Amino acid sequence: MKILCLSDYVDPLIYNPNLKNAFPDIDMVLCAGDLPMDYIDFVVTILNKPTYFVFGNHNLKELRFYEKNPSHLPMNQAQAPRQFIRPDAPTHGAIYAGFKCLENKNLSYIDPKTGKKTPLLIAGISGTCKYNNGACQFTDREMKHLLKKFSLRLLWNKIRYGRYLDIFLTHATPRHIHDHEDPCHIGFDCFNWFLQKFKPSLMIHGHIHLYDMREERIGTYYGTKIINAYAHCIVEFPDTSDIKSENVSQELAKEDLQK
């Protein structure tokens, strides 16, 4: 399975009418946040492949938020922030994966060890660590509360399919993996807890801009391959080969666009 991963930057190599010629064998698209919906709409229209997206801390006009700590509840009963897409918000043929566990029966996962064929299992999380009380920002405690809501569904996946999760799609990073130390770009400690406990094969995130393409894009944590999707990158799943570097994929795309 070949996955096109996007985040944070409207890439002219993607936002191009020759996109399908440049990337003819894409099976799925994962959008890791901070992308305008008309950009996602374009990708869905041109490629016509299953597309999943989460929100970051920008481009949030499609979201509506409830108050984070309802005033009528005592502080010890305050709920974690709730978030959802407006009922009238267009998703442009893409699937919102934020705070959800999903399975795709049309994109089967074939276990390379057992050969067993099962649906692809995906979970997504929107948002970043809280840094200025803006929308789609959460404390680590709030985010862990939201992650724990996945537990029963992930346990069911383990019973039924023999694994909790295949792909974890987020905007923010785990702590100390690709993150930065400024308040805006610090990672979630609870993501590290989630990766240790539920062991997805692949985590795709955004949020961390790669201004120098020699910066680290790939990491691992307790067996999970963690990939920064900034701009665009191509991922093979299950992992039969390492991710193509951005420079390589750009050169191939440029050649196709020039034909």
Identify the sign of the CA torsion 89, 90, 95, 96. Answer: negative
Q: Looking at residues 10-38, what average pLDDT do you find?
A: 95
Beta bridge partners of 51: 29
**How does residue 62 score in pLDDT terms, banded at 50, 70 and 90?**
confident
pLDDT of residue 255: 54
Contacts of 219 (CB under 8 A, 6+ apart): 177, 178, 225, 226, 227
Q: For residue 250, give both structure tokens.
A: 């750009």
The total number of residues written for the chain in this structure: 259
pLDDT number for residue 79: 57
Q: What is the pTM of this model?
A: 0.86
The token pair at 116 is 């067993």
CA 223 to chain centroid, in Å, comes to: 18
Tell me the pLDDT band of 212, cut-offs 50, 70 and 90.
confident
pLDDT for res 111? 74
Residue located via tokens 């992992």 = 239
Q: What is the rounded CA–CA span in Å between residue 22 and residue 49?
A: 15
Question: Could you tell me how far CA 247 lies from the centroid of its own chain?
Answer: 21
**What pLDDT is recorded for position 85?**
75
Q: Is 246 helix (H, G, I), strand (E, B) or coil?
A: helix
Q: Check whether 29 has a pLDDT greater than 50.
A: yes
Distance CA 13, CA 22 (A): 8
Distance CA 146, CA 139 (A): 11
Where does the pLDDT of residue 187 fall: very low under 50, low under 70, confident under 90, or very high at 90 and above? Answer: very high
pLDDT of 245 > 90? The answer is no
pLDDT tens digits for 33-42? 999 999 999 9
> What phi-psi label fits residue 81: left (phi over 0), alpha (psi between -120 and 50 degrees) or beta?
beta
Average of pLDDT values for 208-233? 92
Q: How confident is the prediction for the chain on average, in pLDDT?
A: 86
The confidence band for 82, taking pLDDT boundaries of 50, 70 and 90, is: low
Domain 2-258, second-level architecture? 4-Layer Sandwich (3.60)
Euclidean distance between CA atoms 62 and 40, whole angstroms = 13
Any idea what the Cα angle at residue 222 is, between residues 217 and 225, rounded to 5°? 30
pLDDT at 149: 92
Give exposure, 166-197, as e/b (b: 16+ Cβ within 10 Å).
Answer: bbbbbbbbbbebbbeeeeebbbbbbbbbbbee
- Write out the E strands in 72-200: 83-85, 95-96, 100-110, 117-125, 128-129, 137-138, 167-170
Could you say which DSSP state residue 98 is in?
B
Q: What's the N-to-C CA distance of the chain in angstroms?
A: 26
Quick one: how many helices (H) and strands (E) in the chain?
6, 15
pLDDT in tens, 86-143: 767 778 899 999 999 999 999 888 777 777 889 999 999 999 999 998 889 999 999 9
